[in-house]
Amino acid sequence: MKHSIDFSGKTVVVMGGTSGINFGIADAFAAKRARVAVASRSQNKIDVAVEKLLGYGGEAIGFSADVRDVDAVKAALVGAYEAFGAIDVLVSGAAVRVSVPE
């Protein structure tokens, strides 16, 4: 049985969505016509990811945000909302490396 899912008109935000599994998630939603916003600490990764996501002919934007910075995360989510409207799917996939003293 073939499943055809169309996310047209839906907004997806993927934190950490510029590489690895999280980019794969963003890419899959873009391929299914979702409006996709990605966030990452690296502006270069954001630019590359957004360009690839736009290749599906839909809408994609990116935000520079470190998930350890609450204000940066808030700004990214507000930016996505202002650009695309209500957020239908939020993927919190960003990883953080934390050093702990021994």
Reported pTM:
0.89
What are the phi and psi torsion angles at 14 (to 5°)?
-120, 105
Q: How far apart are CA 77 and CA 89, in angstroms?
A: 12
- The domain ranges of the chain are 11-92
Q: Does domain 11-92 have CATH number 1.10.760.10?
A: no
The CA distance from 63 to 55, in Å, is 18
pLDDT of residue 2: 65
Mode of pairing for the β-strands spanning 35-40 and 89-92? unpaired
**Residue range 94-98: mean pLDDT, rounded:** 74
Work out the mean pLDDT of the chain and round it to a whole number.
Answer: 93
What's the confidence (pLDDT) of residue 40?
Answer: 95
